[in-house]
C-alpha cells in the first residue's frame, strides 16, 4: 500500500493561530508493508507546515521626497548596518574543501565584444560616502519608463532613464521613513507596480525592530509618498527582531483588485534564528494612505525544520495573472548545507487568496522539489592581497536566495550562491527557471491543496571553478527575465587578480539549457582592496545585487535593468547600474 500525503487547510478566526498543513500516512504495520512505512517516513521529512494570524495597521503619513534635505557626504569610520550571521556563514574562513554535485567549468568575465550577451549602457550609482558611510551597500532597484529609483543602505536616489541624478539627491532613508537619526535603517527592497504606476520601497529599522513601507502616490517618485511603520511585534504573536526583508507583489487578489504586497522576513531572537514571516498587505488602502488589516503566515517549516529566506515572487508583467502568489526558498540555516553535507532542493510555496474576500482566509501549501545540483555555504572570496579564508577575503553570505525572485509568463526565475564543488577555495552560483503547478483540493473548491514544480533550466555556474583562475569567485547573483523568457544575471566577482567587481551574463530563451553561452561582460571593475571589518569579524560585502524589469509601453522592447557594487579607488564600496536588451532577431 502506498503512502498517501494529505495537505490540510485549517480555517481560523481573527488573530488566531493554527497549523495550516499537515501530513497523514496510511499504511499497515506488518513486515509486508515495511517499504510503505519507509515511504511514510520520507514523506514526513518533506512535510510542510505554517501558522497564520491577522493584524491591522493605522493610516499612513505623507512625505514629499523631493522636499527632504540631501545627505551631506560623510567621510570617516564606516557605520554598520547590523546583521544576524549564522554559523555556516563563517565556514569560508575555515577554507574547507567542498564536496557535492558535478558542474561544468565556466569562463571568467571578460571585457569586450561577446557574441551572445548584449552590451549594456552603464551609469554611475551612489557610493559609501554619499550614503552616510554605511557598510555594506545592499542594493535595491525599481524602474519605470521615466525614472530609476536606487535604494541602498541608508540612501534613496532618483535618476532619469539616461542615468542623470535629479537635483537634491540622495536622501537619507532615516529622514524618508521618519526614523530617529541614530537608528540604523537598511536592507532595502524596491519594486515598481506597472499596472498602477506606483513605486514600492521597503527597509528595516534595526534599532527599533520595525519594518518601513513606502509607496509613491503617483508615477513620479520624486513627489509625494505614503509611508507606514510596521512593528516587528504583531498582535503580541511575533516578538523578535526582523532581518533581511524580501518583497514581491501580485496584480490582483480576490479581496483587492489592485493586488497585494508580499513582505517576507527572517525573524531572530536572543537564541538566534527563529523563523520566517510572510505579511500579505492589500494594495488599495495602502495606495490611498488608509489603515488596513492584513493576514500573515509564520513558522514555515519543512520536515519539522524552520526555513528562511522565503522569497515572494514579483509578478512583474501587467499581463500576468497567476492564480496564486508563489514563494520559494533554498534549504539554508537549519539544514546544514556544509562542505561535508551539501543541500539539495527548493521549497516551492503557494498562497491562495492572500488578500481574501470578506469572511474568508488565505491558504498556503508547499512542496519540496528536487534540483539537479547540490549547494553549500559559499566560502569567502579572494581578492588581491587576501586569499580565501583570511580576514580581508570577501564574505559572501549564506546559501539562501538573496535577490528578488521574478514571475514572468508562467515561470519563476532565481539564483543562489554556492561554494565550488571540486575543493577549490572559490564560489559560483546556481540559476533556476522553475515552472510551478497547482491543483484544486478534492472537493473542487477554489482552495489550492497541492503544489509541484518542474525545473525547466538549471545552470551550475562555476560549480567546478572557473577555467584559468582557480581563485575566481562569483557570488550574489540576481536574475532578471523579460516577457519572452530571456534573462540577464548580474553578480559580483573577485579573485587574487580582481578586486570586488560586478559582471553580467545573458541567455536567450531559445538557447540550449544547462549553460550560459559565454562569459558575459564586466559592468564595473573593482579598483582597490576592500577591507572593512564588521563587529563579528567579517569583511562583509553587499548582501545582494539588484535587478528591475523595464517593459512599457507594450511596443517597447523589454529591457533588463541591473545593478551591483564594486570597490572604488579608496577601498570603499561604489555602485553602477546598467541597461541592456535583446534588440534584434539577428542576435543569437
Look up the domain containing 290 and give its range: 31-580
- pLDDT > 60? residue 323: yes
pLDDT range class, residue 448, cuts 50, 70, 90 = low
Q: Calculate the alpha carbon distances from 451 to 163, 327, 366, 368, 572 in Å.
A: 42, 11, 6, 9, 45
SS3 category, 267: strand
Cis before 136? omega within 30: yes
pLDDT at 89: 59
pLDDT at 31: 33
Q: Calculate the alpha carbon distances from 6 to 290, 302, 325, 346 in Å.
A: 40, 15, 21, 20
- pLDDT > 60? residue 129: yes
Q: What is the pLDDT of residues 25-51, one digit of tens each?
A: 222 223 333 344 444 545 667 888 999
- pLDDT > 50? residue 10: no
Q: Which residues pair with 564 in a beta bridge?
A: 576
Averaged over 321-328, what is the pLDDT? Answer: 92
List phi, psi (to 5°) of 264.
-115, 150
Which residues, 6 or more positions from 133, have their beta carbon under 8 angstroms from its beta carbon? Answer: 74, 75, 76, 77, 78, 79
pLDDT range class, residue 238, cuts 50, 70, 90 = low
For the chain, give the percent of residues with pLDDT over 90.
66
For the ranges 8-22, 130-144, 284-298, which has the lowest average pLDDT?
8-22
- pLDDT > 90? residue 519: no
Averaged over 444-448, what is the pLDDT? Answer: 51
pLDDT range class, residue 556, cuts 50, 70, 90 = confident
DSSP string, 126-163: EETGGGTTEES--EEEEE-SSEEEEEETTEEEEEETTS
pLDDT range class, residue 460, cuts 50, 70, 90 = very high
pLDDT range class, residue 325, cuts 50, 70, 90 = very high
Query: Is 521 part of any domain?
Result: yes
Q: What is the pLDDT of residues 182-212, one digit of tens each?
A: 899 999 999 999 999 999 999 999 999 999 9
The closest alpha carbon to 548, from 508, 496, 488, 498, belongs to 488
| Integer Cα distance of 579 and 488 in angstroms | 10
| Other C-beta atoms lying within 10 Å of the C-beta of residue 452 | 12
Q: Cell numbers of 42, please?
A: 520520507
| Integer Cα distance of 138 and 126 in angstroms | 12
pLDDT at 334: 94
Q: What is the pLDDT of residues 345-379, one digit of tens each?
A: 999 999 999 999 888 899 898 999 999 999 999 99
For the ranges 224-233, 235-244, 542-551, which has the lowest average pLDDT?
235-244
The closest alpha carbon to 279, from 22, 52, 11, belongs to 52
For the ranges 10-24, 250-264, 363-377, 438-452, which has the lowest average pLDDT?
10-24
Query: Is 3 part of any domain?
Result: no
pLDDT at 429: 97
The closest alpha carbon to 211, from 127, 147, 126, 296, belongs to 296
pLDDT range class, residue 338, cuts 50, 70, 90 = confident
Query: Is 429 part of any domain?
Result: yes
Higher pLDDT, 451 or 321: 321
| Integer Cα distance of 163 and 121 in angstroms | 9
pLDDT at 1: 30
pLDDT at 321: 86
In the block, residue with C-alpha cell 558542474:
103
Structural domains counted in the chain: 1
- pLDDT > 80? residue 449: no
| Integer Cα distance of 458 and 311 in angstroms | 18
Q: Cell numbers of 376, please?
A: 553549500
Query: Is 9 part of any domain?
Result: no
Q: Calculate the alpha carbon distances from 448 to 169, 259, 359, 364, 407 in Å.
A: 46, 18, 18, 8, 19
DSSP string, 76-141: SSPEE------GGGGGGGGT----------BPPPB-S--SSSPP-EEEEEEETGGGTTEES--EEE
For the ranges 166-170, 236-240, 432-436, which has the lowest average pLDDT?
236-240
User: Checking DSSP bridges between strand 272-282 and strand 292-302, what pairing results, if any?
Assistant: antiparallel
Q: What is the pLDDT of residues 498-512, one digit of tens each?
A: 999 999 999 999 999
DSSP type of residue 33: G
Q: Cell numbers of 75, please?
A: 567621510
For the chain, give the percent of residues with pLDDT over 70.
83
pLDDT at 552: 60
Query: Is 124 part of any domain?
Result: yes
- pLDDT > 50? residue 95: no
Q: What is the CATH classification number for the domain harbouring 299?
A: 2.130.10.10
Which residues, 6 or more positions from 426, have their beta carbon under 8 angstroms from its beta carbon? Answer: 379, 381, 382, 388, 419, 420, 462, 465, 466, 470, 471, 472, 473, 495
Averaged over 261-274, what is the pLDDT? Answer: 91
Higher pLDDT, 232 or 519: 519
Q: Cell numbers of 399, please?
A: 546559501
pLDDT at 554: 55
pLDDT at 234: 61
Query: Is 586 part of any domain?
Result: no
Query: Is 16 part of any domain?
Result: no
| Integer Cα distance of 471 and 24 in angstroms | 48
User: Checking DSSP bridges between strand 48-57 and strand 185-193, what pairing results, if any?
Assistant: unpaired
* pTM of the full structure: 0.89
Averaged over 521-542, what is the pLDDT? Answer: 94
460 CB-side CA count, 13 A: 21
Query: Is 497 part of any domain?
Result: yes
pLDDT at 527: 95
Averaged over 149-174, what is the pLDDT? Answer: 96
Q: What is the pLDDT of residues 568-579, one digit of tens each?
A: 999 999 999 999
For the ranges 255-264, 334-343, 369-378, which has the lowest average pLDDT?
334-343
Question: For residues 459-498, b (16+ Cβ closer than 10 Å) or e, as one string?
Answer: bbbbbbbbeebebbbbbbbbbbbbbebbbbbbbbbbbeeb
pLDDT at 25: 23
Higher pLDDT, 449 or 386: 386
CB 324 within 8 A of CB 349: no
Higher pLDDT, 108 or 360: 360
Averaged over 433-437, what is the pLDDT? Answer: 94
Which residues, 6 or more positions from 558, have their beta carbon under 8 angstroms from its beta carbon? Answer: 482, 483, 484, 486, 549, 550, 551, 581
Task: Give the sign of the dihedral formed by CA 276, CA 481, CA 500, CA 422.
Answer: positive
pLDDT at 156: 98
Phi-psi region at 112: left, alpha or beta (left = phi > 0; alpha = psi -120 to 50): left
Amino acid at each position: 500500500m502506498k503512502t498517501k500525503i494529505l495537505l490540510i487547510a485549517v480555517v481560523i478566526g481573527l488573530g488566531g493561530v493554527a497549523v495550516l498543513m499537515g501530513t497523514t500516512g496510511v499504511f499497515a504495520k506488518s513486515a509486508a508493508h515495511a517499504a510503505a512505512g519507509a515511504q511514510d517516513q520520507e514523506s514526513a521529512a518533506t512535510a510542510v507546515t505554517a501558522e497564520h494570524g491577522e493584524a491591522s495597521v493605522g493610516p499612513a503619513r505623507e512625505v514629499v521626497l523631493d522636499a527632504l534635505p540631501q545627505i551631506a557626504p560623510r567621510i570617516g569610520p564606516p557605520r554598520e548596518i547590523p546583521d544576524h550571521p549564522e554559523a555556516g556563514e563563517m565556514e569560508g574562513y575555515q577554507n574547507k574543501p567542498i564536496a557535492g554535485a558535478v558542474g561544468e567549468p565556466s569562463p571568467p568575465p571578460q571585457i569586450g565584444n561577446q557574441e551572445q550577451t548584449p552590451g549594456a549602457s552603464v551609469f554611475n550609482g551612489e557610493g559609501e560616502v554619499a550614503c552616510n558611510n554605511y557598510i555594506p551597500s545592499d542594493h535595491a532597484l525599481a524602474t519605470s519608463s521615466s525614472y530609476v529609483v536606487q535604494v541602498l543602505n541608508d540612501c534613496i536616489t532618483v535618476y532619469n532613464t539616461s542615468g542623470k541624478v535629479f537635483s537634491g539627491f540622495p536622501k537619507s532613508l532615516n529622514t524618508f521613513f521618519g526614523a530617529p537619526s541614530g537608528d540604523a535603517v537598511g536592507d532595502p527592497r524596491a519594486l515598481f507596480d506597472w499596472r498602477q504606476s506606483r513605486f514600492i520601497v521597503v527597509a528595516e529599522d534595526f534599532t527599533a525592530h520595525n519594518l518601513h513601507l513606502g509607496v509613491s502616490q503617483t508615477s513620479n517618485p520624486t513627489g509625494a509618498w505614503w509611508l507606514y511603520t510596521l512593528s516587528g511585534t504583531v498582535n503580541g504573536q511575533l516578538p523578535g527582531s526582523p532581518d533581511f526583508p524580501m518583497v514581491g507583489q501580485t496584480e490582483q487578489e480576490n479581496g483587492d483588485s489592485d493586488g497585494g504586497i508580499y513582505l517576507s522576513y527572517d525573524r531572530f531572537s536572543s537564541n538566534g534564528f527563529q523563523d520566517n514571516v510572510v505579511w500579505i498587505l492589500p494594495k488599495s488602502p495602502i495606495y490611498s494612505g488608509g489603515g488596513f488589516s492584513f493576514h500573515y503566515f509564520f513558522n514555515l517549516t519543512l520536515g519539522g525544520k524552520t526555513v528562511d529566506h522565503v522569497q515572494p515572487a514579483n509578478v512583474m508583467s501587467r499581463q500576468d495573472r497567476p492564480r496564486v502568489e508563489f514563494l520559494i526558498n533554498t534549504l539554508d540555516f537549519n539544514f546544514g548545507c556544509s562542505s561535508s553535507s551539501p543541500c539539495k532542493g527548493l521549497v516551492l510555496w503557494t498562497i491562495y487568496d492572500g488578500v481574501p474576500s470578506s469572511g474568508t482566509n488565505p491558504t498556503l501549501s508547499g512542496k519540496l522539489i528536487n534540483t539537479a545540483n547540490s549547494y553549500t555555504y559559499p566560502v569567502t572570496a579572494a581578492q588581491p592581497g587576501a586569499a580565501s579564508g583570511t580576514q580581508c577575503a570577501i564574505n559572501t553570505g549564506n546559501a539562501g536566495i538573496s535577490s528578488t525572485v521574478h514571475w514572468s509568463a508562467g515561470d519563476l526565475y532565481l539564483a543562489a550562491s554556492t561554494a565550488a564543488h571540486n575543493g577549490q577555495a572559490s564560489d559560483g552560483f546556481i540559476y533556476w527557471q522553475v515552472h510551478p503547478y497547482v491543483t484544486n483540493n478534492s472537493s473542487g473548491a477554489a482552495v489550492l491543496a497541492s503544489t509541484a514544480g518542474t525545473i525547466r533550466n538549471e545552470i551550475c555556474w562555476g560549480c567546478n571553478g572557473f577555467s584559468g583562475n582557480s581563485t575566481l569567485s562569483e557570488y550574489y547573483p540576481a536574475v532578471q527575465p523579460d516577457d519572452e523568457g530571456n534573462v540577464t544575471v548580474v553578480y559580483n566577482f573577485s579573485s587574487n587578480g580582481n578586486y570586488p567587481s560586478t559582471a553580467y551574463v545573458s541567455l536567450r530563451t531559445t538557447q540550449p539549457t544547462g549553460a550560459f553561452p559565454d562569459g558575459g561582460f564586466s559592468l564595473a571593475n573593482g579598483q582597490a582592496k576592500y577591507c572593512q571589518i564588521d563587529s563579528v569579524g567579517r569583511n562583509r560585502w553587499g548582501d545582494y545585487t539588484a535587478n528591475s524589469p523595464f517593459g512599457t509601453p507594450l511596443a517597447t522592447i523589454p529591457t533588463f535593468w541591473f545593478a551591483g557594487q564594486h570597490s572604488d579607488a579608496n577601498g570603499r564600496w561604489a555602485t553602477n547600474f546598467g541597461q541592456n536588451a535583446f534588440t534584434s532577431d539577428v542576435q543569437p
